[in-house]
Chain A
Amino acid sequence: MKNNKYSRNYVSIPSTILVILLLVWVMVPFYIMFFASFKPNFSILRLPPDLVPLKDFTLVNYKAVFERADVFLWMKNSFIISVSVALATAFIAVTAGYAFAKIKFPGKNVFFALVMATLMMPKQMLLIPNYLVAYNLHLQDSFHGVILTTIAPAFGVFLSRQYITSLPSTLFDAAEIDGCSELGKFFRVALPLSLPAVGTISIFAFFTSFNDYLWQLIMLSNKKLMTMPVGLSFFGQTMHNNRAAQLALSSIGTIPLILIFIACQKFFIKGATVGAVKG
């Protein structure tokens, strides 16, 4: 056992090749989306299509997209909604997570059971009643309505509770002895120390709400409030035969998200394991 410290560190070449092939296959739609968007419609519609990168390079599809679709408006709307949802979710999650982690209070277990229950039960199930509640509160067709109804803090509450539990209690005791108020302990000790958890929670909330096509489709019928996913689907219907333009708009909608994802990758690696592996 010279340089093979763990036997699970065994490199299986056939298996590795299969993994790579699978990932290549997963990336095929992205390759097509991106490279076909720079080609004239006719060259991607013939059989077999011409998918050689940068051959017959043209910007005509992007021109069509910017003429016929409110790309910037849709993008802006999506960002307004998802950034607000991300910040609000993180705030709600960290305040509740702090209470669960560091304060003793009657009913704690019952409340935490509710957090766990909502964590397991996705909100889509309540699609119709949620819509009716939003409708009765006059929350449809407005950003604040979509934002309020999209905030789903269960995952974040759970994550920040786990995180704040791991912070030493002596820190909070010391702050209290030094005369810190209850609010002060939260804002000056808990919040600054749980910024990594805040990052993970907001990034997850951001991507979830950015991709929340179904809810935005139902809630926003005003064209001025249309978001990127709804706009993409709308454009796909109205420009049914212009495949290259559809792919150009898809690229515009996808690339910023992939860049943000790559920039924030470490939060994903941390956050994804919450709930599955007890830390």
Chain B
Amino acid sequence: MNPKKQKYTPRERYKARWAYVFLAPWLLMFLIFYAYPLIYGTIVSFTNYTIGSMKWIGLENYRTIFTDYRFWRSLRATIFYMLIVMPLQVFVPLWIANTIQAYKRGFNTAVKLVAYIPGVTCSVALVLAWRFMLDPNIGFVTSFLKKIFGARFSPFNTASTAIPIIAVLIAFTNLGATLIIYSAALNAIPADYYEAAELDGATRWDQLTKITIPLLQPTIVYVFITSTIGALQIFVIPQLMTQGGPNFMTSTVLLLIYSAAFGDNKFGYASALGVILFLITAIFALIQFRITRRETVEY
């Protein structure tokens, strides 16, 4: 007998049955809209699925992906976005949180609110405003840049300028949530630590690098992982700013999935791309999962 099972009294067994009732709505949603699509998508990735027909073609889709320049360009662009977005999302809110820590409620809250606003706005509305500012012909920001870099400068014609611009726009739409996370973590550090350090003659820089940063390390790791996973899902802003062009140089993996399925009607191929994206993300999620588990042992 499993010793675990013996721990249930009849009363507890009755209650455990109710637990499954309470769990049922979530479990149903999980099975139909998460677990089943995951399995189904993996199966579809081995077929040449188009709406209405489906034929098993084995690893053909994967073979095509790895020889498809569109995939390599999208993957390269996704990593390029990630390398700019991730450090900005990790360190800029940390710096803001540390700066506003000294202020009382009013200014402190105001900064958090303002930083959060782009995050609750329709991203499409924001993109329309940015497109007005950054239009290659009539945008006033572009014309200002042209004065600096020369009249032929066109920021969205090459990935080396388009991706950094879009990445900065993406990074600063999500400042708010991370800022709040860091602020809460900063507040949780006991004041005694700083007082003791100050008595021992530690400078402010020492306090930042020897107390604040080490104690915030779990939070920093969390933000690092979630922003990395988030960067793998970049879609809306490149899609509306450049459509991934020119020729997939500013595309992302998710954008390629979208255009393969809904542009080319290649659902099998798109599913195979989805499986690859899923596996890449799962690696980061797994790292995060292990770290969180370690910290929530006492529950």
Using a CB–CB cutoff of 8 Å, the interface residues on chain A facing chain B are: 1, 5-12, 15-16, 18-19, 22-23, 25-30, 32-33, 36, 44-45, 47-49, 91-93, 95-96, 98-100, 103-106, 108, 111, 114-118, 120-133, 135, 148-149, 151, 153, 157, 165, 182-183, 186, 207, 210-211, 213-214, 218, 228-230, 232-233, 236, 243, 246-247, 249-251, 253-254, 257-258, 260-262, 265, 268-269, 272-273, 275-278
CB of A265 within 8 A of CB of B113, answer yes
Known: A26-B175, A128-B257, A268-B116. A105 touches B129 (CB 8 A): no
Q: Does B188 contact A (CB under 8 A)?
A: yes
CB of B204 within 8 A of CB of A10, answer yes
Measured between beta carbons, the chain A residues less than 8 angstroms from B198 are 1, 7
* Residue from the set B19, B207, B240 with the largest chain A CB neighbour count within 10 Å: B19
**Chain A interface helix/strand/loop/mixed:** helix
Q: A103-B15, A122-B230 are in contact. List 12 more A-B contacts (CB 8 A).
A: A104-B16, A120-B229, A120-B289, A128-B257, A133-B32, A229-B123, A232-B125, A243-B138, A253-B125, A257-B120, A258-B120, A261-B117
A237 to chain B, nearest CB (A): 10
Q: Does B85 contact A (CB under 8 A)?
A: no
Contact of A117 among B111, B175, B188, B285 (CB under 8 A): B285
Q: Does B245 contact A (CB under 8 A)?
A: no
Measured between beta carbons, the chain B residues less than 8 angstroms from A128 are 41, 44, 257, 261, 267, 270-271, 274
Within 8 A of A (CB), among B150-191: 172, 175-177, 180-181, 184-186, 188-189, 191
Contact of A126 among B113, B258, B274 (CB under 8 A): B274
CB of A232 within 8 A of CB of B128, answer yes
CB of B26 within 8 A of CB of A92, answer yes
Q: Does B262 contact A (CB under 8 A)?
A: yes
Closest 9 CB pairs of A and B: A129-B41, A120-B285, A129-B37, A250-B125, A96-B26, A105-B16, A29-B129, A105-B19, A99-B22
Known: A19-B96, A47-B138, A47-B140. A125 touches B181 (CB 8 A): no
Measured between beta carbons, the chain A residues less than 8 angstroms from B18 are 99, 103, 182-183
CB of B128 within 8 A of CB of A125, answer no
Measured between beta carbons, the chain A residues less than 8 angstroms from B26 are 92-93, 95-96, 115, 153, 157
Measured between beta carbons, the chain B residues less than 8 angstroms from A121 are 229, 278, 281-282, 285
Measured between beta carbons, the chain A residues less than 8 angstroms from B49 are 132
Stretch at the interface among B64-72, B74-82, B100-108: B100-108
Measured between beta carbons, the chain B residues less than 8 angstroms from A28 are 133
9 A-B pairs within 8 Å (CB atoms) are namely: A32-B129, A45-B138, A111-B27, A118-B30, A124-B254, A126-B278, A129-B41, A233-B240, A258-B120
Tell me the bound Cα distance from A33 to B123 in angstroms: 13
Known: A132-B267, A182-B15, A265-B113. A254 touches B125 (CB 8 A): yes
B267 to chain A, nearest CB (A): 6
Q: Does B222 contact A (CB under 8 A)?
A: yes
Which residue of chain B lies nearest to A252 when distances are taken between CB atoms in the complex?
A: B125
Measured between beta carbons, the chain B residues less than 8 angstroms from A257 are 120-122
Tell me the bound Cα distance from A247 to B128 in angstroms: 7
**Chain B interface helix/strand/loop/mixed:** helix
Contact of B122 among A26, A95, A211 (CB under 8 A): A211
Tell me the bound Cα distance from A9 to B194 in angstroms: 10
Measured between beta carbons, the chain B residues less than 8 angstroms from A269 are 112, 180
Tell me the bound Cα distance from A231 to B229 in angstroms: 28
Known: A130-B37, A182-B18, A232-B122. A116 touches B289 (CB 8 A): yes
Tell me the bound Cα distance from A99 to B131 in angstroms: 48
Q: Does B223 contact A (CB under 8 A)?
A: yes
Measured between beta carbons, the chain B residues less than 8 angstroms from A229 are 122-124
CB of B113 within 8 A of CB of A262, answer yes
CB of A126 within 8 A of CB of B138, answer no
A87 to chain B, nearest CB (A): 12
B278 to chain A, nearest CB (A): 5
Measured between beta carbons, the chain A residues less than 8 angstroms from B236 are 213-214
Measured between beta carbons, the chain B residues less than 8 angstroms from A249 are 125, 128
Which residue of chain A lies nearest to B278 when distances are taken between CB atoms in the complex?
A: A125
Tell me the bound Cα distance from A258 to B113 in angstroms: 10
Tell me the bound Cα distance from A250 to B132 in angstroms: 12
* Residue from the set B15, B121, B229, B299 with the largest chain A CB neighbour count within 10 Å: B121
Measured between beta carbons, the chain A residues less than 8 angstroms from B282 are 121
B135 to chain A, nearest CB (A): 8
* Residue from the set A19, A151, A213 with the largest chain B CB neighbour count within 10 Å: A19
CB of B289 within 8 A of CB of A117, answer yes
Within 8 A of A (CB), among B23-46: 23-27, 29-30, 32-34, 36-38, 40-41, 44
Measured between beta carbons, the chain B residues less than 8 angstroms from A246 are 128, 132
CB of A49 within 8 A of CB of B140, answer yes
* Residue from the set A7, A133, A157, A265 with the largest chain B CB neighbour count within 10 Å: A7
Within 8 A of A (CB), among B272-299: 274, 277-278, 281-282, 284-285, 288-289, 292, 295-296, 299
CB of B233 within 8 A of CB of A258, answer no
Tell me the bound Cα distance from A272 to B36 in angstroms: 29
